[in-house]
Structure formats: structure tokens, C-alpha cells
Amino acid sequence: MTQTRRGFIASGAAGLVTLAAPAIAAQSAVQRNVSALQKIDWRDHFDALGVGVIVADTSARAVHFWGGDGETYRLYPSSVPVSPELTKLGYTEVVRKVDGPTWTPTPSMRERDPSLPAVVPAGPGNPLGTHALYLSWQYYRIHGTHDTRKIGRPSSDGCIGLYNEHIAKLFALAEVGTQVRLI
């Protein structure tokens, strides 16, 4: 029996498919990760929209924004506090907006790490990124970050962090007086 070149190639390809079949079958048995970035309903958290509402979901690591017009909705991935002790949950509101914020470590941060600078000016080395929404709770912010590795992870001392491009968009949408809930 003579083997043609075409027959040899076809039998080799069939052999490769046979070798790959267990891996393909195993791969189809793997459950895919479903993104936590799913829309929720603001009515589950607030009685009225007012000028707008934000829900920061610490378990899903997501920030939801609804504008006071009832039409505007945005969803952003976020960083969250590193531990339950640093996580403050409940209702607050945006009391101030700062474009190009400076960062001042909290007393507890300075206690843990006395080498921290007293103040970090606005710019690439600032942990608050390009914009910050100050909340009525002292030391708590929704802010940007230059360290994009933090998004989607527990990585803050209490704040909610967003990519700089996302906080810039949220900053433009959210007004002082926007209701905020951390869940």
C-alpha cells in the first residue's frame, strides 16, 4: 500500500484532532465566570432619585450611577477596601467634588506607616487619581487611581476607586447632593 502525500497529511490531522479531543471535552465542562458587573435597580436602595444616586457594591466591586433624569445609567468596575474593618457600609452623599485632588493620609494610615508624606499634590503619584467625589463620611471618597492594577480588587483603606477615565465621566455626571449607598 502506497501512502500519498495528501493521505499522509490527512491522517496526521486526524491524529491531532484525536489527541486534542480530551482537552476540548474537558474545556466544555468548565463553568465560565459570569461577570459581577450586572445592572441593579436603584429602587432597591433609594426612595427617589433626587439629583442622582450611586450604589457602590463592594461584593461585586462595581459602582452604579443613575442620573436624576431617570434615563442616565452608568456602571463602572471598582476597587474596594482591603478588609471588612475598613469598609463602611450605609448611606451617605457627595458633599464636594475636586478636580485634581491632593491626598492627605488619614491619622490611622500615618500610624501604620509613619513614612507616609504629609500631603501628596495632584499629579501622577497621587493615590486619588485625577478626580474625587468627597462623601459626608470623613476620609471616605470615590476617586480615581493611577494604579490600574487596583481596580477589581480589595486594595483601599476604605475608599472606592475607579479608573481615572471612569471617575472623570462620573465626576461630570454626579452633582453635589448625589445620594450614595455602599453595600
Q: Which of 45, 131, 159, 166 is catalytic?
A: 159
Contact 37, 158 (CB under 8 A): no
Q: Which of 45, 131, 143, 166 is catalytic?
A: 143
For residue 94, which of 65, 133, 128 has the smallest C-alpha distance?
A: 133
Per the annotation, the verdict on 146 as an active-site residue is: no
Distance CA 3, CA 5 (A): 7
Per the annotation, the verdict on 143 as an active-site residue is: yes
Contact 116, 105 (CB under 8 A): yes
> Where on the phi/psi map is residue 118: left (φ > 0), alpha (ψ -120 to 50), or beta?
alpha
Query: Catalytic site residues?
Result: 143, 159
